Amino acid sequence: MSTDRPVGLIGLGLLGSAIGDRLRAAGYSVVGFDVDPRRRDEFTLAGGEPVSHASQVPENCRRIVLSLPTSDIVDQVLNDIAPRLKLGDLIIDTTTGAPEDSEQVGESLAKRGVGYVDATVAGSSRQVRAGDVVVMAGGSDRDIAASRDVLASFARTVFAVGPCGSGARMKLAVNLVLGLHRAVLAEGLAFARACGLDPRQTLEILKSGPAASRVMDIKGERMLTGDFAPEARLAQHLKDVRLILDAGHHSAARLPFSELHAELLQTLVDQGWGDFDNSAVLRAFESNDE
């Protein structure tokens, strides 16, 4: 498909607004909706074409990107727009949700002749704006092929990982490792500080040695400076860890680190850190007087 036809975008939060910016930069016109009127106003100022209800998005858009917080909200939105969906339309869902829900959505839409790809994103909204994320796409070969140009507008790599639901499963595997990397980095920096070491030099040494990871490049400086303005919210990652534990329960996978991680993140959310960037996991390892 070409950029001649607008792309729909439902969900204009951190991730959705970044996707919208990348789509427009690639030459697409973007018709968008969010329940928050402030986000619609920001979308307008950025050059998007807002509508006042989700059901208006399919009127001129054959491909619609969803960027929503949970599977339940995906279901609500799809119920709203279902009467307007047409044979051959395609839903590209970047929501991190339950794999079983993605499977069911794909099956339900297929019965109506509507395509569905669960196109989960590995990376933050800032990385999306830089086109430096990986997308893990679950769906039919035909639907993934029809979504590739849209996904390529913001992703450096797109992996086809299997049928509907596979994108969600792969995202949980990625987020399990990614989230624990952040927690380990935070614990290590806090440990260095408690031992009287220079945290900045500690980070430099970590990035130069065998323990190096991209997490250090992306989140290390934010942990050092305490800049927790959200690029990906801590509470959203807690939601992901709960999905990981649920998937682990159903598949009999042992997840002792993730169980501890969920407890740690829940404590931070209870302390009021949920809407901050997930690099605020550092606060779990700092003493109360810091």
Query: Measuring CA to CA, how many Å separate 119 from each of 33, 43, 234, 242?
Result: 19, 22, 21, 20
β-pair partners for 9: 32, 65
Tokens 């959705």 -> residue? 16
Same domain as 143, residue 14 = yes
C-alpha R_g of the chain: 20
Residue bearing the bigger pLDDT, 38 or 5: 38
Q: What is the pLDDT of residue 288?
A: 59
Residue pLDDT, tens place only, 69-82: 999 999 999 999 99
In this model, does residue 3 exceed pLDDT 60?
Answer: no
Query: Measuring CA to CA, how many Å separate 70 from each of 9, 11, 106, 184, 209?
Result: 16, 11, 16, 26, 38
**For the chain, what percent of residues have pLDDT higher than 70?**
97
Same domain as 180, residue 85 = no
Mean per-residue pLDDT of the chain: 95
Predicted confidence band of residue 5 (pLDDT cuts 50, 70, 90): confident
Same domain as 160, residue 47 = yes
Residue pLDDT, tens place only, 17-41: 999 999 999 999 999 999 999 999 9
Domain assignment of residue 1, yes or no: no
Q: Which residue, 104, 138, 164, sits at the end of a domain?
A: 164
Same domain as 102, residue 197 = no
Q: What is the pLDDT of residue 4?
A: 65
Q: What is the pLDDT of residue 2?
A: 47
Coil, strand or helix: which one is 64?
strand
Closest Cα partner for 218 from 249, 185, 240?
Answer: 185
DSSP state of 233: B
In this model, does residue 197 exceed pLDDT 90?
Answer: yes
Domain containing residue 267: CATH number: 1.10.1040.10
In this model, does residue 283 exceed pLDDT 90?
Answer: yes
Q: Which residue, 126, 141, 164, sits at the end of a domain?
A: 164
Mean pLDDT on 172-189? 97
Same domain as 100, residue 35 = yes
Number of domains forming the structure of the chain: 2
